[in-house]
Structures are given as C-alpha cells and as structure tokens.
Amino acid sequence: MPSPATKRQTYRKLHETGCFVIPNPWDIGSARYLQHLGFKALASTSAGYAFTQGLPDNAVGLDMMLAHLRELAAATDVPINADFENGYAHAPDQVAENVRQCVGTGVAGLSIEDSTGDKQNPLYDLDTAVARIRAARAAIDKAGGDVVFTARAECFLVGRPDIGEVMTRLKAYASAGADCLYAPGIRTREHIETVVNAVAPKPVNLLMPANLGFTVSDIAALGVRRISVGGTLARVAWGATIRAAEQIMKEGRFDMFAEAAPHPALNGLFRDDMSKRPDRVTKP
C-alpha cells in the first residue's frame, strides 16, 4: 500500500490540472468498491457515515470520526479526503488541535466548514472564520504541510444564498491558507463560474446535487477541478433498501430484489481484496 506521504503527493497533483470526481464512500466496503472502479481519490461523508451508526448528520463525535477516517485511510490505496465538518470545535486553537489529530489518521486532505451549528447564527463571523482557517493551516504546516486543505463557505446550505458573501468568504479563506475552495449548494453555471474566477488560480470543489443535469465534461468546462457527491451515494443505497423493505412490509412482495448486486460479484471482489490484505483476515 502507498504511504500517507505518497497518497498526499498524488492527491495534490490531482488538483493541479484537469477535473476529477471524488466520490464519497461511507464504509470500507463502499470505499473498496469505488477504488476498484478506478476513481483516483475518495472523500468521506459525515452524513453517510452517521447514517450507518443510526445517527443524524453532525451527530458523530470527534473520536468516532477520527476512528472512521483512520479505518478508511488504512483500507484504501488511493487518497482519502476527510469531511471534517466544522473542525469539531469553535475556538481556533481547538480546531488546530483537532486538525492535527485528523492529519494523524493518514488522510490526504481535509475540509473545514464555517457553519456554527446554531440556527440563529449559522455562520461564524468573517474574522472568526478566517482565524479558524489560519489555525487549521498552521496545524497542517506543523505536521508537514502536505495535506490538501479545503475551506468551505456554507452560505447556501444554511439559508444565506448570497453569492457575494460566498465570494468574500472564499477569497478570505484562500488568503488565509486554504489550498482548495468549496461552496456547497451553488447550482447555476453563473454561480459556479463566479466562484471559480473569484479564487483562481486555486482549485474549486463542486458538490454535485441530484438532478442538476451537468456532466463531468460540463463541469470541467466551467473550470472546476474537483467534483464530490457528498452523502448522495449513501442515500442512493438507503433509497434502494427502503423501497425493497417497504415493498415487503406493505405488499408482501420481493420484486425489488431483482435490482440487487449479484452475490458472486461482491463476494469475488472482496475475496480478492482479502487475499491482497492478509492483515484483514479474521478467520483461521
């Protein structure tokens, strides 16, 4: 398996030219399958992982999330980007300490949000948000500086869909040391191009929502370097499970089983994986 340093070098190079998709697995199995398909990097999803634990998004604690990130990084040969929510702290110095621990899990990148979790005041004021970004940047630099740091402006996700505020925040985060910029929730060509141009030449991540209608080529043409899908793949899996289970309960039918992935295909994939990773074998 490549070392964390090698994965980080690979991940950083991916941001230099072109456009790549970074899908979001929610456990080891989904991560291994996405790697098997040939994706060059993967990103965790706080929501997808929370659902596997029977928790809502943003309810997973720091220690549990660090263990999850360590598990994903150890189970994959490709770089892992950590959805590190808002750093699991408010104060910049505590954000820095938590980022230090996140880097220690072996991830190749991490993102920090500027959302507070407080519905009355959903975003940190700009000065505080910038101080948090600087603290995270300093923690990464102290640990070696090779982890790709993404700063997120959550305006569109917390009910403040002001593209002017998004640009102000992202420009400030870029100046404070973010390597990549991200404004989840933007959906139009105009907004995407505005964000890309505002922070150029630094790369931009786009969260691809359902039913937007863009292809990877369309998004690449807008200047986006990285495309993520958040918790959507996890929700696709949940959608299939919900439909099948409700059909059984409500109709006494099993028609949805026709859409199941073949057992031999999955078994073969993970058998091959097990043979390459004897450390993961638990049975004699």
Please state, in angstroms and rounded to a whole number, the distance separating the CA atoms of residues 102 and 22: 19
DSSP state of 121: S
Note the residue count of the chain: 284
The mean pLDDT value of the chain amounts to 95
Q: Which residue type sits at 32?
A: R
pLDDT band at 191 (very low <50, low <70, confident <90, very high): very high
Cα 1 from chain centroid (whole Å): 22
Please state, in angstroms and rounded to a whole number, the distance separating the CA atoms of residues 106 and 79: 9
pLDDT in tens, 80-130: 999 999 999 999 999 999 999 999 999 999 999 999 999 999 999 999 999
The percent of residues in the chain predicted with pLDDT above 70, rounded, is: 97
pLDDT band at 212 (very low <50, low <70, confident <90, very high): confident
DSSP state of 3: -
Residue 40, C-beta contacts closer than 8 angstroms, at least 6 positions apart: 10, 14, 20, 78, 79
4-230 falls under which CATH superfamily? Phosphoenolpyruvate-binding domains (3.20.20.60)
Please state, in angstroms and rounded to a whole number, the distance separating the CA atoms of residues 81 and 154: 18
pLDDT band at 277 (very low <50, low <70, confident <90, very high): low
Please state, in angstroms and rounded to a whole number, the distance separating the CA atoms of residues 2 and 248: 45
pLDDT at 209: 81
Q: Which residue type sits at 239?
A: G
Please state, in angstroms and rounded to a whole number, the distance separating the CA atoms of residues 5 and 1: 11
Q: Is 141 helix (H, G, I), strand (E, B) or coil?
A: helix
Q: What is the CB-side half-sphere exposure of residue 121 using CA atoms within 13 A?
A: 7
For residue 60, the tally of other CB atoms under 10 A from its CB is: 20
Is pLDDT of 211 > 90?
no
Cα dist from 66 to 2, 31, 100, 113, 182, whole Å: 20, 16, 11, 17, 22
* pTM of the predicted protein model: 0.95
Rounded to an integer, the average pLDDT of 71-83 is: 97
